[in-house]
Amino acid sequence: MFPELLSTIEESNGPGALWIELYYELVKAYDDQPLNDIGIRKIYDYADWCLVQPQSDDMDLYDVSSSAAVGFVENLPLDKRISADLHRWMSAETFLGYENLFRYHLSEDEFKRFSAEFLRRRKLFIETPGG
């Protein structure tokens, strides 16, 4: 999915480290003007795939779902540009399902503001033609 990131992927020390790197790639995609929507979409699509993979009780196998949750989803509220644009990439149902992950770095008040702003933007987005 990410041929342009092949060396980053090959050099990572497992899925947890890879997701930290992919989060930084997402941050970099927001530095591009215009936004690198293709790169952003690839990262979210890969996260979606990882997050639905079954968890493993075998310590010799990587748990890609948990790695994506901890190394990626928990960090989404940390960058204002990403959190302000999250409504374009995530459904309200998915957002609400990740509530505990989003709360990891946020206080109660911060989460309430983050959640209200996401839901407001998401509603406007889906009501807008082409959204």
pLDDT digits (tens, 9 = 90+) for 107-126: 999 999 999 999 999 999 99
Q: Which residues of 4-31 are buried (b: 16+ CB within 10 A; e: fewer)?
A: ebeeeeeebeebbebbbbbbebbeebbe
Domain segments of the chain as ranges: 3-127
| The two structure tokens encoding residue 88 | 């374009």
The whole-number pLDDT of residue 23 equals 94
At 55-112, the pLDDT tens digits run 766 554 567 888 899 999 999 999 999 999 999 999 999 999 999 999 999 999 999 9
- Pick from 59, 65, 68, 73: which is nearest to 104 by CA? 73
For residues 103 and 129, give the distance between their C-alpha atoms in angstroms, rounded to a whole number.
32
11-65 per-position pLDDT tens digit: 888 888 889 999 999 999 999 889 999 999 999 999 999 898 887 665 545 678 8
Q: For residue 60, what pLDDT is reported? A: 46
